[in-house]
Each structure stands twice: as C-alpha cells, then as structure tokens.
Amino acid sequence: MIARDFFLDGSELFRTLSDWQPNVIVCFIVDDLVINLRDQIPPEVPIVSTARVQQLSNTAVVLASAIEFYCQAHRLFDQLQVNEVWQFVFGGEPTGQSSQRQYREYAARHNVVYHSQWAPEPQTLVDLHKSVEVDPDVEFWLNQLPKPVGIFSQNTLAGCYLARTCELIGLKVPVDVAIIGSDGFQVATSTHPPVTSVLVPAPEIGLRAVDIAIEMLETGSGPCEPVIIEGLTILERASTGGGCRVDCDIDAALQFIGQHACEGVKVNDVVEQTQGVSRMTFHKRFLEVAGITPGAAIRERRMREARWLLSQTDVAPGTICGLCGYREYPHFYKVFRASEGVSPTQYRNLVK
C-alpha cells in the first residue's frame, strides 16, 4: 500500500486525486467538500472522514465522543458555578444542526437545561490574527446572558472568536464569560486569554480510520453509523481560570507531547500549557516518572512520526522534516541520524 499525504482545497484537491486515482481516501473535511469529493471520485472508492459529515454512500466517519465533551464541559462549568451553560454553533449545515441535535439529546438525558446559540460563520474566521468582525446578534446575545456564564463550542476557531469578541465588547473572560473551545494548540494559545480547549485522542482516531479504510477495501462495506472514539480531555487554560495547578501533571504533559510534538512545540510550551510549576520542578518530576527528559520525549515522538512516514509513505524527506516539527532539514537530518544510525533516505531504503 502506498500512502500519500496532502493538504489541498477545492478544485486543486479534485485534480490531484484524479491524478493519483486512489483506492481509498482518509480525510479531515466536512459537509459540502465531502459531498463534492464523493461526486468527483468513483462510487466504489471508500472515504473515511475524521470530521462530522452527513451520511453518504460508501463513506465512513470516525469521531471523538461529543457526549464525553459535553460531560466534561458541564463538570468544569459546575466547578466554576456559572449561572447558565450555552452551546455556541457556527453556521454550516448539516454539521451545525447535528451538533445542536446531539446536545439537545444529551441535555434531555442528563436533566440539564438546553441552551444553544447559532451564528453565521464570519468571513474573518479563517485569519483571526488580523481582525474579528463583531456580529451584532452575537454581541446582543453575549450582553444579555446572566453573568457569569459558561459557553462551549465544537466548532474549530469558535472559542478563539468568542474570546476576541468578548474583549472587543468589554466582557471579561473568564469573570463574565468562561469559554471552552475545540481549537488546536496554536489557535487556542494565540488569544488573550488563551482558550481552554479539547484534546482529542487523535492517534486513536487516525488508527481506527485507517483500519476502517482497509476493511472497506477488503470487504466492500463499512460502518453505517459514526464510529466514536473515547479518551477526550479538556485542557484548561485561562479562559476558564485554568493554568493555576500546584503540582506536576505528567499524564497531561505526555498527552500534550503526543498530540503536539510534531507541531514544533518546545518544553516551555508543555510547561505553560499543562503545568502550574516551574520548568526546573517539572523537568525533575518528568524524569522521575517517565525515565527520560521532556525534550527527549518530544524528540522521540517526532522520530516515531518520521519513521512511520518514511516507511509507509512516499513523502519526500524534506517535507517529512516539516511534518515532524523541524524548521530546517539539516537539523532534522542530524537528529534522525543520531537516533536511527542512518540518514532518512537510507532508513527508507532499508525498511521499504
């Protein structure tokens, strides 16, 4: 099996797939793009998406548990003693309606009051580093909520959007509005204050998606309902008053490294995002528990990713360098050779 990795959009995506003529596709794309993809490729080619999409023929879905997210969000908001808990949903059908329906069902089963607010997705959402357009309806909604209030969202970037909107309209986070988003590390930490976010079991989701893809290739059929993977955790940051731990949380550090090492994070990032102690204290405790230093753990996670990409894909070593969190190839080459005893190219020739 030859695996190819790509990050493309729109017509470029379809042209590339047409050239590759894949036997199966594992992707993280939603709604309209998946529908278009399904229309563009032969119906016998299975698709496995790790993002929520509507039910389509020969298309399987693998997701983190939304119920687990709701439970943990409510538990955290209960600790904060907020007056109300709201779900915030960006536009985009049918995903928005699906999220609201799921939460409505959860609220009914767990005897909690259902509150949900929908808003159209702002055009500035793609680049929140530039500016945020305050939607008058969102501003009115935020202002009339009983403070303190807790808001969570399953939409990527929505937590960041809410935090910046609150700042612009004079609401204090987390004093007035506590926020939990599903934003990734780089987005969640780019706001002030940093947004509490979801840490999904990405490796488990990816492995299960690949297993299902192989199963669909071999049997011609796959699961009709979304496959739910549990193991989600909420990574507390300042938007819910987090970041004040008094002890080392090595499990959180290891999970954070597993999720983000290949994004170029450093030991300081691990300390800032998961600990409430000094770097020196964390380093000592991490070494006692894990048997290696935090830096070595980050390096080993990157090397594990590099070994997999070299052995299972045709991605060029120069590209793998960036995918594993290294900015410059000479540095990646040096680290890989020190770890494996051979160069990346030699390793690929040995194992393929």
Contact at 8 Å (CB) between 117 and 50?
no
Q: Report the C-alpha gap between 154 and 197 in whole angstroms.
A: 10
At CB < 8 A and 24+ separation, what contacts does 92-97 make?
Answer: 92/30, 92/31, 92/121, 92/155, 93/31, 94/31, 94/54, 95/30, 95/31, 95/52, 95/53
Integer angstrom CA distances of residue 51 from 93, 167, 252, 323 = 13, 30, 24, 21
- Token pair, residue 227, equals 């496959």
pLDDT (tens digit per residue) in 86-107: 999 886 555 677 888 899 999 9
For residues 206 and 128, the model is more confident at: 206
pLDDT band at 13, cuts 50/70/90? low
pLDDT band at 244, cuts 50/70/90? very low
pLDDT (tens digit per residue) in 166-178: 988 999 999 999 9
Mean pLDDT of the chain: 85
Q: Report the C-alpha gap between 333 and 321 in whole angstroms.
A: 8
pLDDT at 246 over 50: no
Contact at 8 Å (CB) between 256 and 264?
no
pLDDT mean over 250-256: 86
For residues 257 and 247, the model is more confident at: 257
Among 22-31, 214-223, 258-267, name the one with the lowest average pLDDT.
22-31
What pLDDT does 11 receive? 58
Among 52-56, 185-189, 228-232, 268-272, name the one with the lowest average pLDDT.
185-189
What pLDDT does 161 receive? 87
For residues 164 and 28, the model is more confident at: 164
What pLDDT does 9 receive? 53
pLDDT at 12 over 70: no
Most confident of 3-17, 23-37, 63-77: 63-77
So what's the architecture of 66-199 in CATH? 3-Layer(aba) Sandwich (3.40)
Q: Which ranges in the chain are annotated with CATH 1.10.10.60? A: 245-352
Among 1-10, 16-25, 223-232, 252-261, name the one with the lowest average pLDDT.
1-10
pLDDT (tens digit per residue) in 124-152: 554 555 567 788 999 999 999 999 999 99
pLDDT band at 70, cuts 50/70/90? very high
Integer angstrom CA distances of residue 242 from 22, 80, 195, 219, 234 = 45, 11, 9, 47, 11
pLDDT (tens digit per residue) in 296-332: 999 999 999 999 999 989 899 999 999 999 999 999 9
Among 179-183, 200-204, 245-249, 348-352, name the one with the lowest average pLDDT.
245-249
Side-chain-facing half-sphere of 233: CA atoms under 13 Å: 12
Q: Report the C-alpha gap between 121 and 153 in whole angstroms.
A: 13
- Token pair, residue 133, equals 């357009």
Q: Cα–Cα–Cα angle for 270, 27, 269, nearest 5°? A: 10
What pLDDT does 298 receive? 96
What pLDDT does 290 receive? 83
What pLDDT does 130 receive? 53
pLDDT (tens digit per residue) in 16-66: 666 777 888 888 776 667 777 777 788 888 989 888 777 788 889 999 999
So what's the architecture of 245-352 in CATH? Orthogonal Bundle (1.10)
3-state secondary structure the chain: CCECCCCCCHHHHHHHHHHHCCCCEEECCCHHHHHHHHHHCCCCCCEEECCCCCCCCCEEEEEECHHHHHHHHHHHHHHHCCCEEEEEEECCCCHHHHHHHHHHHHHHHHCCCCCEEEECCCHHHHHCCCCCCCCHHHHHHHHHCCCCEEEECCCCCHHHHHHHHHHHHCCCCCCCEEEEECCCHHHHCCCCCCCEEEECCHHHHHHHHHHHHHHHHHHCCCCCCCEEECCCEEECCHHHCCCCCCCCCHHHHHHHHHHHHHHCCCHHHHHHHHCCCCHHHHHHHHHHHHCCCHHHHHHHHHHHHHHHHHHHECCCHHHHHHHCCCCCHHHHHHHHHHHHCCCHHHHHHHHC
